[in-house]
Structure 1
Amino acid sequence: MVSTFPIAPTLDLSKVRLDIRNLQRDLVQWRRQIHQQPELAFDERQTATLIAAKLTDWGIDHQTEIAKTGVVATIASSNPGPVLAIRADMDALPIQEANDVPYRSQQEGKMHACGHDGHVAIALGTAYYLAQHRDAFCGTVKFIFQPAEESVGGAKPMIEAGVLQNPDVDGIIGLHIWNNLPLGTVGVRSGPLMAAVECFRCTILGKGGHGAMPDQTIDAVVVASQVVNALQTIVSRTIKPLDAAVVTVGEFHAGTALNVIADTARLSGTVRYFNADLEGTIGDRINTIIGGICQSHGATYDLNYWQLYPPVINDTAMAELVRSVAADVIEPDLGIVPDCQTMGGEDMSFFLQAVPGCYFFLGSANPAQGWDYPHHHPQFDFDESVLCMGVELFVRCVERFGREDR
């Protein structure tokens, strides 16, 4: 059973309409129910069942088991107009929760440590409201409850399954509850918001031997160390200074004993950038650098390089739609944050490649309550007042998207 832990909003919601404010208790309960039963990528079956049950109760048409566990719902207005999609990701992370709250995860080693439980609750609240107010907007709204954002990505398989068709989607929006911004702020900008995510694993193959006889060996540790240092020149000497990028080596494994020269060394890392034109550039440069260093030492190597997600790039008109809506909802002394880029990645990027759209951040940090731990931290939690605000933002985007004068 979901706890009756206090749910009173700590944020001024006076600009949120009464019908949506009255949903706050339900929003919190849905979020906490999902939080207690976190599920990893492509295994979000209880979450999908909960979503489908709510949609059925509310008489909203929907399909299930899309890209394994995805759910898509459609609400048509009584007034003709365009089709706007709203995307919410559902999956949790393989993290042991450290929060001492009544609604903490009941699944060992699994936790909603990134706010996806809140994303689902906000989308459900938006669907409920719009289903009760079909005359208040124009066109059709399609809700995409997506699996597996945290891993290999569920957006692409959902797109391949046709979720942006029948009816064809004209625009798409999504939000991320964001503890990197103060409670009640909205981070929105046109152009790049989040970075491309590329990954690599490399094995350096040398020749092992006795630590006292290095002349008989090809030291994989020495070779790999030079590779690590050389890779740091890619951003500083290959990428234009105005193009932000990151090359990080996160793992380095080599050796078995203090007096043995290692015959192999294994490196792995990640690459991030905003400029879509850089696709392929950094990977090629990494291959060239590793190849040159290995050749100079007589070593060989095996490199595996792959792209997870392209950068999240917002359409200018759609970003302006979200910005104009946010300006009507947030408190004047809080504000809209345009400088909200992050080198974090998101597979929302695939949706934004397919149709014009906007992904934005909803500030949720409340240090006074201890709700300001970073995403993916075992004590991550957020101020649930933003659930109500998230619904209001989505509903106003729907209402404004269907107007010809928007």
Structure 2
Amino acid sequence: MSTTPMTSPDPLKAEIDELVPDLVAMRRDLHEHPELAFEEVRTSGIVAQRLKALGLEVQTGVAKTGVVGLLRGEAGSADAKTLAIRADMDALPIYEENDVDYRSQVDGKMHACGHDGHTSIALAVADILTKRRSELKGNVKFLFQPAEERIGGAKPMVEAGAMKGVDGVIGLHLISNYTMGRVGVRSGTVFASADMFELTVHGKGGHAAMPEGAVDPIVIAAQIITTLQTLISRETSPFSTSVITIGTIHAGTAFNIIPETAVLQGTMRAYTKEHREKMIRRIHEVAEGIASTMGGSCDVTFFDGCPPC
């Protein structure tokens, strides 16, 4: 006769299970009250209040609306290492169409990237680790970052000293194409760089029925868009990953007039610093070269985004 060995209950899992209702409630509250980059006043206030209630050393107003909370472990030496746990807090300028009880109460603003979840998870981790302070052989610094979306709140937080004394960092990101309960872990780069660029194509306006007297910036723009994709299909190794997408095109005021300019906006993503630099250089060369060859010109502007991380 076989017997199944008895397993002792996992106290950590029990603690986590106990916190789940509060974690869900916090996430939904933050979801209802989204705040854009550097406007996270309510969110940062909630974060600071919770961290102070746990007994952490709290700094507010870091990089305007960022919050830092330090949990000192009691089982380590004076030179114990410090691990940072980072979460972002800002929402996106998007109108929420989801029909849920906790949908955004602010028109034109929504937590569409999961930062409400990131903040709630980090607060739950702070709660759990605080209860185990006596067991910690090192320190844990909680970093609640503002302005992750586009503007880039990480750099001003670093400049404000948020990373001082930190030996390592843990970050996470919710992802909707994983099934619930699945966790993906890897070393190295997880997210690509995220750069925005704008191409302003200059031509010569004229009548649509007499194109020979004009330089059509729309036709130039079409050639640029098509050729930019060859930077991926013909200049990027199949073993590398990169993306160039043109998201907006604005040109013209009437159906029978060739306009003076066409403005394109897009994004470029790359997984290494070297490939990112190459793509930026080649986008300049392709856009400017094609425009010049076709009798026009092109101004290329890059808005420096986040590096691969």
TM-score by length of 2: 0.92
Structure 2 distance, partners of 1:259, 1:34, is 50
Counterparts of 1:41-60 in structure 2 under 5 Å?
Answer: 41-60=37-56
Q: CA deviation at 1:121?
A: 1.2
Residues in 2 aligned to 1:112 and 1:295: alpha-carbon distance in whole angstroms: 43
Q: Distance in 1 between matches of 2:100 and 2:210?
A: 59
Structure of greater Rg: 2
The within-5 A match list for 1:6-405 is 17-80=13-76, 81-165=80-164, 168-312=165-309
- Structure 1: give runs of 5+ residues left out of the alignment: 1-12, 313-406
Measured at CA, do residues 202 and 136 of structure 1 come closer, stay the same or move farther in structure 2, by a change above 3 Å? same
- Measure, in 1, the Cα distance between the counterparts of 2:203 and 2:96: 42
Amino acid at match of 1:152: I
Matched residues, percent identical?
Answer: 48
- Judged with a 3 Å threshold, the aligned counterparts in structure 2 of structure 1 residues 124 and 210 are, in CA distance, closer, same or farther, namely same
Distance 2:115 2:292 in 1: 46
TM superposition shift of 1:102: 2.5
In structure 2, relative to structure 1, the CA distance for the partners of 1:15 and 1:299 (3 Å cut) is farther
Distance 2:173 2:194 in 1: 18
Question: What is the CA distance between 1:75 and its match in structure 2?
Answer: 0.5
Equivalent residue letter for 2:301: N
Greater relative contact order structure (CA < 8 Å, 6+ sep)? 1
Cα distance 1:61–1:259, how it changes in 2: closer, same or farther (>3 A)? Answer: same
Give a deviation string over 1:378-397, Cα, whole Å, max 9, x none: xxxxxxxxxxxxxxxxxxxx
Give the Cα separation in 1 of the matches to 2:27 and 2:239: 40
Residue 378 of structure 1 corresponds to none
Which position in structure 1 is the counterpart of 2:4?
none
* In structure 2, C-alpha distance between the alignment counterparts of 1:60 and 1:190, rounded to whole Å: 29
Q: Is the Cα contact below 8 Å between 2:269 and 2:276 reproduced in 1? A: no
CA shift for structure 1 position 280: 1.8
8 Å contact kept, 1:42–1:147: yes
For residues 253-305 of structure 1, the C-alpha deviation after alignment (integer angstroms, 9 at most, x for no partner) is 21221211222111111111112221321111111112221222221221102
Q: Tell me the CA shift for residue 15 of structure 1.
A: 8.6
| 1:117 CA displacement | 1.1
Q: Which amino acid aligns with 1:185?
A: R
Q: Runs of 5+ in structure 2 lacking a partner?
A: 1-8
The root-mean-square deviation of aligned C-alpha atoms, in Å, is: 1.7
Cα distance in 2 for partners of 1:113, 1:14 equals 34
Query: Shift in Å at residue 16 of structure 1?
Result: 5.2
CA contact 1:42–1:148 (8 Å) conserved in 2: yes
Q: CA deviation at 1:132?
A: 1.9
- Post-superposition offset of 1:95: 1.8
Distance 2:128 2:187 in 1: 28
Q: For residues 107 and 14 of structure 1, do their structure 2 counterparts lie closer, same or farther at Cα, with a shift above 3 Å needed?
A: farther
Query: Which segment is superposed worse, 172-181 or 237-246?
Result: 237-246
Is the deviation greater in 287-296 or in 95-104? Answer: 95-104
Specify the code of the residue in structure 1 equivalent to 2:23: L
CA distance in 2, matches of 1:124, 1:222: 53
C-alpha distance 295-96 of structure 1, shift in aligned 2 (>3 A): closer
More displaced 10-residue stretch of structure 1: 22-31 or 143-152: 22-31
What TM-score, normalized to structure 1? Answer: 0.70
Counterpart Cα distance in 2 of 1:230 and 1:79: 60
* SS of corresponding position for 1:227: helix
Note if contact 1:243-1:275 (Cα within 8 Å) is conserved in structure 2: no
Q: Counterpart of 1:88 in structure 2: which amino acid?
A: A
